[in-house]
Structure 1
Amino acid sequence: MIKTIAALFVLTVFLAGCVSSSVSRPDVSIDAEVARLKQQGFRQVTRTSDGTRILRYSGRISSAVECRTGSNSFARIPSRQRTADGQTQTITLDAYLQLSPGSDGILRNSGRDGIYIVTIKTRERGGSTSLTGIKFGPRGQATSRSGLTCRAA
């Protein structure tokens, strides 16, 4: 029990430093938001007595994230793609979310915290591999060196 509380405290402190506030999310019931995220592949790790939920996702990029290049519209991207110059890219997502509803059970924009990490593994035609990544919070977005901009869906 003490290990669990300590782990939640460390995770909360870590997540508190990872949020950007550029994207506003609508107010929604905590149960509805957890159900939506579970449909996107998240799994609930824990639920505290005050109703806070911690969720996690790890795997191929999913509908939980939408991306764009340049001024194109945000859309879901495939987890594996071939670039114009013949390289193969595999895109994965690791995410931790802390959702803290108000006493009325409503999750507001300020109750969302966490981190999304999008990793792009590029295999060149000669066989060499490179890794790049971007990180952003549930209310933010980030752009990779290659120009790929991603945000939470």
Structure 2
Amino acid sequence: MIRKMKDLELEKVSQIWLDSNLEAHDFIDKNFWLDNYPMVKEQFKTAEIYVDAELEIKGFVGLQSDYIAGIFVEKSYRNQGIGKKLINFLKKNHQELSLDVYDKNIRAKQFYEKNGFEVSTQSIERETGEKESRLVWKKVNYG
């Protein structure tokens, strides 16, 4: 079931964010993520976050208007369709979605492309010096 994050779930969501970033972005110094953790955790308090949770949180997505700040899935629940479920949840209520992904994060980039996102621009992220792509999905309206 996908629903808005509850305040008491902040710790779990923050830990999933940190663990996922450390694992998926081994090409970035781990201190970048550790140093940003307190700020991100603070931002989560007022962010639009949706979790996939039954008895426990399996994953979550952060959203800023039509921009996906990130999709993160607890390691033990990966490759079970949680990310796709979160993407489809957002697609129901949006005409267009965008996000940024590091080019070296090949699995994530392939996941988004497989789910209908296309590269619109590429740039170098200032904080990390890493190449990233802006991916965009647009709802196709027939008729």
Q: Whose helix proportion is higher, 1 or 2?
A: 2
Q: Whose strand proportion is higher, 1 or 2?
A: 1
TM-score, scaled relative to structure 2: 0.26
**Larger RCO, structure (CA 8 Å, separation 6 or more):** 1
Which structure's CA Rg is the greater one? 1
TM-score, scaled relative to structure 1: 0.25
